Amino acid sequence: MARKKKNDEIKTEELSPNAHIAGAGIVQPQHITDILETNFMPYAMSVIMSRAIPEIDGFKPSHRKLLYTMYNMGLINGARIKSANIVGRTMQLNPHGDAAIYETMVRLTRGNEALLHPFIDSKGNFGKAYSKNMAYAASRYTEAKLDKICNELFRDIDKDTVDFVPNYDNSMTEPTLFPVTFPSVLVNNNLGIAVGMASNICSFNLNEICETTIALIRNPDHDVSETLLAPDFSGGGILLYDKEKIDEIYKTGRGSIRVRARYSYDKKNNCIDITEIPPSTTVEAIIDKIIELSKGGKLKEISDVRDETDKSGLKITIDLKRGVDADALMLKLFKKTPLEDPTSCNFNVLIAGVPKVMGVAEILEEWLGFRTECIKRRTAYNLGKAKDKLHLLLGLQKILLDIDKAIKIVRETEEEAEVVPNLMIGFGIDEIQAEYVAEIKLRHLNREYILKRLEDIEELKKTIADMEDILASRSRIKNIIISELKDVMKKYGKERRTEINYDFAEDADENEDSVPDYPVRLFYTNDGYFKKITPQSLRMSGAHKLKENDYITLELDSTNAAELLFFSDRCQTYKSRASEFEDSKTSLLGDYIPTKLEFDQGENSVYMAVTTDYKGYMLFFFENGKVAKVDMSSYATKTNRKKLINAYSDKSPLVAAFYINDDAEFVIKSTSGRLLLFNSGAIASKTTKNTQGVAVMNLKKGHRVASVVNYNEGMFTKPQRYRTKTLPSAGAILSAEDSGEQITF
């Protein structure tokens, strides 16, 4: 036991080597500002400058390391190789995991369709930018090489046009920027999220960007919007042009633009095919939103939606119900789904290591300054090479004076190390020239060879003078940039993919929901049951199924888009639409309105009005002999309100209600047996819904209006008997001639 205890003590001491240090294990308080300064700020600066924000050449470091690796592998002209090989080689410059490098590569490929001008020519499954479920294949299955446009990224990169820095382990060098011959920073979209800032640069058409840059070179005060119409996206779509917002983006580098999906209507299959969507959304997000709205009862026009994307490209198919207006439905979908989505712009670019948000003109000016420096450095490099060659040829020219003397000097020199000095003394040339002469092969020591070399002297002098003139002339450098831009346009320019819609304001004002519109016959019963039956179904049906003692009080032909107003016995109106009811059959009871529209407890429906334009009038006949004539427009609402209170007056019980488009005649009967033939044109209409109305029938004490019916021609033998020139009127007793008629009230 003693031995075991001793071993335990030794083990504890080994596990706690700092146990003897004073203060070990005690938490020391630190100021949060010190922690931020020493830990957080260096990380934030690293993310901003070396990861998330693009530079003036349009690339982030991760993009640049990948593309430069592929350039060094000879993939700009060679055949495609496995992506896994490219990823592995890129790790020499980019010390990250292979997954992060491959994800960067995927976005740059032609197959992913994320960029307007892809930099990588790909083969295999690289997923799709417009779908989050279409995952890319592993790097061992795909192949890639640089696209032809990359010639413009690496042109003259080996002529000191840009700076090179050592990689992370000093084993090789890499460029800090690419000497791009066109403003790629605005040609391809770029998104980056740093610490405390972000960058979101939308893409523009290559031709428009080059034309705008040329215009700015020729006139620094050029209005950018004259040549740069609007952003252009790889996925196409339709851009809703708002000049104020576009000008704001061009001027400040911040703002947003709205892009709509492109669709076509397949009349044969009664479906909508969506083939282009906004760049800020995905196929899955659109379909999920449509399904959500359909389940919530807000999209009753759609019977099915599915993703039919295949090798031919993106395609979302929406099956429509019968009678649906496709264009009206799409306006509704634009408002409620990502089929119309805003795209934010934040033109944040690193300029000399400092993040800066700039407008389009300012970015192009910065790029012109960068490209001007590239051309100067390239010219200076070529000038140096030309001067060096001229210097050698001038030395060779002196040898031409006496080739035999040069041969004699070489032959008579005993030590090899003395050959160059002796040539320098013999011909009065410097060491570099003498070294060049000494290295000439024996077979070239003939007059013909030397004369051919000397012919280059005059050409070199002209070339050197020309390059010196370029370095001294700003206008010549500008002309070189213009020439290069025109060459890029000719080689790689494409038509716009995103259509610009200048006349979308009318669409934006559209606020009516799209509903399937087809003929229907509407039925309303005394007990408050409602049926909507199509003419086809009605022709093949039998008698109506009704509750005991119930009967149909209203039957009329209308459309599925008609609006329905159900008046209750509590002076309230419940609004609905025929489209909100399922097509019924005569063999069914139909929908019970108080339940369907969620009437108050004990509230009953007394009348149904059907309208499509809210024109005409509502007539309310009360027991006290008054009639209220209310404009139907008083029941129209701008918002989608379902319930209106004070729909009619509550001062006297309601006997009957009628909806009329034009003035008509009605027969009013009182409990005293008197009849009054009344024309609604005799009273003026009111806009106040709960107006008490105008006295139409005089009633004796204890009597009231019993019923009201529409007057039909031939109902009375002498209708003048029941008419009156003045109101109110007591009416007339039913004559003996009419008493035999079957007049139902």
Confidence class for position 568, pLDDT limits 50, 70, 90:
very high
Q: Under DSSP, is residue 288 helix (H, G, I), strand (E, B) or coil? A: helix
Domain edges within the chain: 49-180, 206-362, 370-492, 519-739
Question: Average pLDDT for residues 577-583, to the nearest whole number?
Answer: 88
Q: Under DSSP, is residue 190 helix (H, G, I), strand (E, B) or coil? A: strand
Does position 102 have pLDDT exceeding 80, yes or no? yes
Q: Which CATH number fits domain 49-180: 3.20.20.70, 3.90.199.10, 1.20.810.10, 3.30.9.10?
A: 3.90.199.10
Distance (Å, rounded) from C-alpha 263 to C-alpha 261?
6
Q: Under DSSP, is residue 392 helix (H, G, I), strand (E, B) or coil? A: helix
Confidence class for position 319, pLDDT limits 50, 70, 90:
very high
- Highest CATH level, class, for 206-362: alpha beta
What are the CA-CA distances from residue 296 to residues 287, 312, 500 (Å)?
Answer: 14, 33, 33
Does position 718 have pLDDT exceeding 90, yes or no? no
Number of C-beta neighbours around residue 165 at 10 A: 9
Indicate which residues carry an active-site annotation: 141
Does position 681 have pLDDT exceeding 70, yes or no? yes
| DSSP assigned state of 202 | P
Does position 8 have pLDDT exceeding 80, yes or no? no
Beta strands at 573-577 and 563-568: parallel, antiparallel or unpaired: antiparallel
Contact 498, 232 (CB under 8 A): yes
Residue 555: predicted pLDDT: 92
Secondary structure of 500-529 as H, E, C letters:
EECCCHHHHCCCCCCCCCCEEEEEEECCCE
Q: Which of 259, 408, 433 is nearest to 339 (CA)?
A: 259
Does position 7 have pLDDT exceeding 90, yes or no? no
Is the bond preceding 220 in cis, omega lying within 30 degrees of 0?
no
Distance (Å, rounded) from C-alpha 595 to C-alpha 494?
61
Question: Between these two residues, 164 and 538, which has the higher pLDDT value?
Answer: 164
Structure tokens at 165: 């820095």
Q: What does the angle CA 644 – CA 331 – CA 506 come to, to the nearest 5 degrees?
A: 90
Residue 630: predicted pLDDT: 95
Query: In the Cβ-directed half-sphere of 682, how many Cα atoms lie within 13 Å?
Result: 21
Residue 511: predicted pLDDT: 43
Residue 515: predicted pLDDT: 65
Residue 464: predicted pLDDT: 95
Does position 196 have pLDDT exceeding 60, yes or no? yes
Question: Between these two residues, 252 and 322, which has the higher pLDDT value?
Answer: 252
Does position 512 have pLDDT exceeding 70, yes or no? no
Contact 389, 464 (CB under 8 A): no
Structure tokens at 12: 């504890």
Which pTM does this prediction carry?
Answer: 0.69
Structure tokens at 675: 């009849």
Q: pLDDT tens digits for 154-187?
A: 999 999 999 999 999 999 999 999 999 999 999 9
Confidence class for position 78, pLDDT limits 50, 70, 90:
confident
Does position 15 have pLDDT exceeding 70, yes or no? no
- Highest CATH level, class, for 370-492: mainly alpha
Q: Under DSSP, is residue 577 helix (H, G, I), strand (E, B) or coil? A: strand
Query: In the Cβ-directed half-sphere of 14, how many Cα atoms lie within 13 Å?
Result: 6
Helix H or strand E encompassing 405: helix 403-412
Question: Average pLDDT for residues 37-54, to the nearest whole number?
Answer: 81
Residue 744: predicted pLDDT: 58
Helix H or strand E encompassing 14: helix 2-15
> Using only C-alpha atoms, what is the Rg of the chain?
44
In percent, the amount of the chain with pLDDT more than 90 equals 68
Does position 712 have pLDDT exceeding 70, yes or no? yes
> 216-245 as b/e, with b when 16 or more CB fall inside 10 Å?
bbeeeebebbebbbbbbbbbbbbbbbbeeb
Q: For the domain bounded by 519-739, which CATH number is listed?
A: 2.120.10.90
Distance (Å, rounded) from C-alpha 105 to C-alpha 378?
29
Confidence class for position 740, pLDDT limits 50, 70, 90:
low
Would you give the distance in Å from CA 712 to the centre of its chain? Answer: 60
Q: What is the dihedral of CA 374, 377, 380, 385, to 10 degrees?
A: -100
Contact 107, 115 (CB under 8 A): yes
Place of tokens 């369907």: 596
Question: Average pLDDT for residues 527-550, to the nearest whole number?
Answer: 89
Q: Under DSSP, is residue 592 helix (H, G, I), strand (E, B) or coil? A: strand
Question: Average pLDDT for residues 111-122, to the nearest whole number?
Answer: 96
Distance (Å, rounded) from C-alpha 722 to C-alpha 668?
10
Place of tokens 């334009």: 613
> 697-718 as b/e, with b when 16 or more CB fall inside 10 Å?
bebeeebbbeebeebeeebbee
DSSP E strand stretches across 102-236: 120-123, 143-146, 164-166, 173-175, 190-193, 198-201
> 476-495 as b/e, with b when 16 or more CB fall inside 10 Å?
ebbebbeebbeebbeebbee
Ranges 48-57, 150-159, 502-511, 633-642, most confident? 150-159
Q: pLDDT tens digits for 401-455?
A: 788 888 888 888 888 889 899 989 888 899 999 998 888 887 777 777 777 777 8
- For helices 419-427 and 431-438, what crossing angle results, to 10°? 110
DSSP assignment of 301-340, as one string? TEEEEEE--BTTB--EEEEE-TT--HHHHHHHHHHHSTTE
Does position 739 have pLDDT exceeding 90, yes or no? no
Query: In the Cβ-directed half-sphere of 409, how many Cα atoms lie within 13 Å?
Result: 20
| DSSP assigned state of 618 | E
Confidence class for position 395, pLDDT limits 50, 70, 90:
confident
Residue 449: predicted pLDDT: 76
Question: Average pLDDT for residues 200-227, to the nearest whole number?
Answer: 96
Distance (Å, rounded) from C-alpha 619 to C-alpha 195?
68
Q: What does the angle CA 26 – CA 31 – CA 32 come to, to the nearest 5 degrees?
A: 115
Distance (Å, rounded) from C-alpha 654 to C-alpha 618?
13
Distance (Å, rounded) from C-alpha 684 to C-alpha 682?
7
Residue 738: predicted pLDDT: 77
Does position 726 have pLDDT exceeding 50, yes or no? yes
Query: In the Cβ-directed half-sphere of 670, how many Cα atoms lie within 13 Å?
Result: 23
